[in-house]
Amino acid sequence: MKRLLSSILMAIGMVTMAQAATYSAPRTGFVLIGGASFTMGSPGSEDWRSNDETQHRVTLAPFYMAAYEVTQKEWRDVTGKNPGNFSGDTLPVESVTWLEAIEFCNALSRRDGRTPAYTLADGGKTVSWDRTANGYR
């Protein structure tokens, strides 16, 4: 569950980061996460290594991320529904899929007058983060 909530927060942060270069700073409650570079993948000498684990360098630009989990009230205010198994305005939203989190981020962007940063293709099977159209540098 914490991983899903972290994913939602990261997605919100990515939406905000994509917008930050072109538009105003995000609304309050967001923190700037510094960029970094790291090596992703497994060394060729590692036992049981898969073919898709080739090591490569990844660089992440700084981005904004919400300081706290998305609450059920925030989710309901944006989507009009609460998918959770538990009920309480201040409780974190739970029981949402990655796709629902992306749709929430896009809806939040539209509500706040920002351009959605994600494009849903193939019926939601493929999600791309649109960097160029949103002024990402």
Strands (E), 51-90: 56-60, 63-66
Enter the DSSP assignment of 117.
-
Question: Is 136 within the bounds of a domain?
Answer: no
Q: Where in the sequence is the domain holding 7, given as residue range(s)?
A: 2-129
27-52 core/surface letters (b: 16 or more CB in 10 A; e: else):
eeebeeeeeeeeeeeeeeeeeeeeee
pLDDT band at 23 (very low <50, low <70, confident <90, very high): very low
* Contact in structure between 96 and 8 (CB atoms under 8 Å): yes
Question: Is 134 within the bounds of a domain?
Answer: no
pLDDT of residue 115: 87
pLDDT digits (tens, 9 = 90+) for 38-75: 999 999 888 888 888 889 999 988 888 889 999 999 99
Question: Is 27 within the bounds of a domain?
Answer: yes
* Contact in structure between 126 and 133 (CB atoms under 8 Å): no
Question: Is 66 within the bounds of a domain?
Answer: yes
What does the alpha-carbon distance between residue 92 and residue 69 come to, in Å, rounded to a whole number?
6
Q: Does the reported pTM lie above 0.85?
A: no
pLDDT of residue 117: 80
Cα Dmax for the chain: 51
Number of domains in the chain: 1
What does the alpha-carbon distance between residue 95 and residue 34 come to, in Å, rounded to a whole number?
29
pLDDT digits (tens, 9 = 90+) for 77-123: 999 999 888 889 999 999 999 889 999 999 998 998 988 888 877 76
Question: Is 50 within the bounds of a domain?
Answer: yes
pLDDT at 33 over 50: yes
- Backbone angles phi and psi of 64, in degrees to 5: -95, 145
Question: Is 70 within the bounds of a domain?
Answer: yes
What does the alpha-carbon distance between residue 113 and residue 34 come to, in Å, rounded to a whole number?
25
